[in-house]
Each structure stands twice: as C-alpha cells, then as structure tokens.
C-alpha cells in the first residue's frame, strides 16, 4: 500500500495536532493542578481570555478525553463517540497545520 505525499503530510499533521493538544492539556494540568476543560471559559474575565489559546489548541485532546470517559462511565452511544472523534480529528488537523506552519516560520525553512 502506497500513500501519496499529500496523504502522508495530512497524517503527520493530524498526529502532530493530537500530540500538541495532549502536551498542552497535560502541561496545563501539571502547572495548575486542575484539568483543562471548556469550563474555564465560564469563569469569565481574564481567566477566560488567558485560557483561549490553551483551549484552542488543546481542544482535540479534551474532546477525546471527555468522549472516552462519557462512553465508559455514562454509556454514551457509539454514533456519538464516532461523531466526537471525527470532530476532534478535524480540529486536530487544523491546529496541527497551524503548529507546523509556525514551526516552519520560526525555523526559517
């Protein structure tokens, strides 16, 4: 099986986006001793504004973590899990592309 160069680049971008999301969410949890979640936005004020970059790039990990927990604890239906996974992977593809472009811009290549 051969992958086209564009398919391989998209796969690398997806994996980079998921890895970066996991790194950000884990770093946030390590630094603050609380889990990264979309509930950070409900506090309002400066905390909500400061958490936007973390949530924008860490969202795929948060979505997947909540989906797996919802499936095991609440027994959410499989179509919901599939839809959430597709959403997280799409978001990861976009955020991974941004991270990759920023890395290329910083490195000068």
Is the predicted pLDDT of residue 22 greater than 90, yes or no? yes
Calculate what percentage of the chain has a pLDDT beyond 90: 78
For 89, the token pair is 């992977």
What average pLDDT score do residues 80-84 get?
94
CA quadruple 90, 91, 96, 101: dihedral sign:
positive
pTM score, two decimals?
0.86
pLDDT greater than 80 at residue 1: no
Task: Give the mean model confidence (pLDDT) for residues 31-45.
Answer: 88
């Amino acid at each position: 099986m051969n992958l086209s160069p564009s398919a391989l680049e998209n796969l690398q971008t997806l994996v980079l986006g998921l890895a970066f999301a996991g790194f950000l969410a884990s770093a946030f949890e390590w630094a603050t001793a609380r889990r990264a979640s979309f509930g950070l936005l409900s506090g309002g004020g400066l905390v909500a504004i400061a958490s936007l970059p973390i949530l924008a790039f860490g969202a795929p990990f948060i979505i997947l973590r909540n989906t797996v927990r919802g499936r095991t604890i609440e027994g959410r239906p499989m179509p919901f899990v599939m839809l959430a996974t597709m959403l997280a992977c799409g978001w990861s593809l976009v955020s991974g592309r941004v991270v990759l472009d920023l890395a290329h811009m910083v490195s000068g290549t």
